[in-house]
């Protein structure tokens, strides 16, 4: 059964590790992530962007697929199904469809409007026992056509949003989505410390987990990050393994064209990436 992300993130915060959010795109992604979490006894958050939800034909399909897998794969570890960078309307749709967690990304609104919409969702999520992630200070890079400026969040605005009663808070600290450019100056730990000082016990979320050096990830966890989002890295490992299979001509041998064979190396590559991240985040054995 899907659970809210609240308890797993509070445990992570208190235990000084982080839970990974791995975004899903299809059945192979979902299966790979769930099987790895179960094998390693790690809590896990499945992230779904609005674009990926649409790709999978809608949120109800996603909920049906994930709930089916939890049962058929006999998953015992805590799993949250979470909308990533949701609009207000998207969040309502996911809540209706059966997600156990949503992110409302109001970071592109003026702070007053972000506060107003987040407040409404806090009320709805509290009634239904769902976890809610809010965002302050947009995160750089490109995600589903939305390009952020990579700003650093204002700690006072973070406090305003955290005090509304959200479960977790994403705040820009120089992190960006997608691949990091060569000249990226690194995470702004001064900003993270200032935000932590203002938001107290609030589990913080680090977006754009692909390509941040390991020592920076570990330091961010030490400073209060309890959830780390990984998306691009699974896409890269899936694509590389699939390329290797085809370049080796394996799709042309026997029944190598069978999608169950063609997609298998990519699926295994996602498993390896998820395992690597869970080791780095320290969530193995914490379920
Ligand atoms: Zn993000």
| pLDDT tens digits, 183-231 | 888 899 999 999 999 999 999 999 988 889 999 999 999 999 999 999 9
Q: Which candidate, 3, 49, 57, places its Cα nearest to that of 24?
A: 49
What residues have a C-beta under 5 A from ligand 1, the ion? 207
Identify the bridge partners of residue 86 per DSSP, sorted by sequence position: 104
Instruction: Specify the pLDDT at position 146.
Output: 54
CATH architecture assignment, domain 6-232:
Alpha-Beta Barrel (3.20)
Task: List, as one string, the DSSP characters of 38-80.
Answer: HHHT--EEEEEEHHHHHHTT-HHHHHHHHHHHHHHTT--S-EE
Q: How many CA atoms lie within 13 A of 198 on its CB side?
A: 19
- 255 secondary structure, DSSP code: T
Distance of CA 203 to the CA centre of its chain: 14
| Token pair belonging to 3 | 């659970």
pLDDT in tens, 93-144: 999 999 999 999 998 899 999 999 999 999 999 999 999 999 998 777 665 5
Q: Which candidate, 184, 277, 262, places its Cα nearest to that of 231?
A: 277
Distance from Cα 268 to the centre of ligand 1, integer Å: 24
Instruction: Specify the pLDDT at position 138.
Output: 77
- Quickly count: other Cβ atoms within 10 Å of residue 7's Cβ: 14
Instruction: Specify the pLDDT at position 158.
Output: 96
Query: Domain residue spans in the chain?
Result: 6-232
Instruction: Specify the pLDDT at position 182.
Output: 81
Query: How many Å apart are CA 53 and CA 275, to the nearest integer?
Result: 24
Distance from Cα 259 to the centre of ligand 1, integer Å: 30
Q: Which residues are catalytic?
A: 84
Distance from Cα 264 to the centre of ligand 1, integer Å: 27
Distance from Cα 252 to the centre of ligand 1, integer Å: 38
Query: How many Å apart are CA 62 and CA 85, to the nearest integer?
Result: 16
pLDDT in tens, 162-182: 999 999 999 999 898 888 888
């Amino acid at each position: 059964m899907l659970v809210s992300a609240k308890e797993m993130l509070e445990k992570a915060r208190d235990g000084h590790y982080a839970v990974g959010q791995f975004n899903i795109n299809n059945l192979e992604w979902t299966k790979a992530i769930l099987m790895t979490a179960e094998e390693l006894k790690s809590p896990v958050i499945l992230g779904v962007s609005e674009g990926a939800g649409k790709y999978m034909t809608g949120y109800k399909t996603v909920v049906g697929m994930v709930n089916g897998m939890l049962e058929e794969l006999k998953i015992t570890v805590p799993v949250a199904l979470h909308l990533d960078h949701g609009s207000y309307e998207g969040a309502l749709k996911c809540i209706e469809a059966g997600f156990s967690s949503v992110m409302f990304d109001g970071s592109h609104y003026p702070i007053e409007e972000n506060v107003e919409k987040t407040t409404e969702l806090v009320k709805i999520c509290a009634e239904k026992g769902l976890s809610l992630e809010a965002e302050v200070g947009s995160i750089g890079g490109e995600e589903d056509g939305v390009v952020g400026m990579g700003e650093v969040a204002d700690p006072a605005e973070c406090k305003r949003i955290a005090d509304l009663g959200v479960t977790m808070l994403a705040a820009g600290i120089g992190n960006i989505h997608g691949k990091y450019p060569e000249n990226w100056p690194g995470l702004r730990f001064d900003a993270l410390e200032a935000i932590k000082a203002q938001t107290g016990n609030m589990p913080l979320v680090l977006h754009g987990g692909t390509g941040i050096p390991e020592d920076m990830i570990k330091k961010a966890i030490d400073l209060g990050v309890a959830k780390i989002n990984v998306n691009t890295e699974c896409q890269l490992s899936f694509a590389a393994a699939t390329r290797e299979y085809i370049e080796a001509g394996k799709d042309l041998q026997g029944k190598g064209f069978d999608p169950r064979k063609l997609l298998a190396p990519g699926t295994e590559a996602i498993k390896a990436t998820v395992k690597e991240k869970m080791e780095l985040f320290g969530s193995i054995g914490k379920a």
